[in-house]
Amino acid sequence: LGMEVYGYDPYISVDAAWNLNRGVVHCVNLNDLLRKCDYVTLHVPMTPATRDTLNEKTLDSCKDGVRVLNFARGELVNNQAMLAALESGKVSCYLTDFPAPELLGVPGVICTPHLGASTPESEENCALMAAQQLRDYLEQGVIRNSVNYPAFDLPKTAPCRLCILHENDGADLGGMVRVLLEDCGIVDTHRNERGGVAYTVVDLEHRPIDQASESLRELQGVLRLRCL
């Protein structure tokens, strides 16, 4: 942006220093940087040592009319000290994506959401999606966006659906089919795998009798069975 850039990092390594742009002026302490800069932007983690990095004392060291950008962590700036600095004119503008209640609507403060996707509309849509996905799993055996189950997203093709979660290599799938063929009538079968877990879905003309379901549960490697 054509600016003169000053930087301060008390923990900078030799390797990191070699990778710095030659146009960056290295400041030996924070106050040295604050006295020189018209814009101050923070890029540090929040730790006990960095909490309130910008407080009443450090803000007082800034140039009059400084603009502060904080997109790292809200706790790096003491909000009460910042509000006082804004009121006095020491700080002309504070931009942050940690919109604490006391900052909202204050002249000179521009707040944006730290997670840009978290709008009221997206939160509502996410809740609806989560409810829909849970309903589809409970009613259809459909699995979407799971962190540990294999994905499966096909509608039922018969009145009954058997959902079997089993070990990927340990389950006796042939035994499952033989039990089902006795009196249920297989219409369609699907199997997806993820890591050491497999998910087998069987659509049936008739619901298995209790004895058949118990036989399936006792097969080697079967972890869970549901009949929908």
Active site residues: 73, 102, 114
**Structure confidence by residue, pLDDT tens digits, 13-62:** 777 777 777 888 888 889 999 999 999 999 999 999 999 999 999 999 99
Does the model's pTM come out above 0.85? Answer: no
pLDDT digits (tens, 9 = 90+) for 142-198: 999 998 889 999 988 899 998 988 888 755 676 777 777 777 888 888 888 888 888
**pLDDT of the residue at 43:** 92
pLDDT for 171 equals: 58
DSSP string, 95-159: EES---GGGTT-TTEEE--SSTT--HHHHHHHHHHHHHHHHHHHHH--B-S-SSSPPB-----SS
Distances, alpha carbon 27 to alpha carbons 5, 10, 14, 18, 44, in Å:
10, 10, 15, 15, 16
Q: How long a stretch of residues is the chain?
A: 228
Q: Please state, in angstroms and rounded to a whole number, the distance separating the CA atoms of residues 15 and 69.
A: 27
Report the pLDDT value the prediction gives residue 9, as an integer from 0 to 100: 86
pLDDT for res 92 = 97
Cβ neighbour number for residue 172 with a 10 Å cutoff? 16
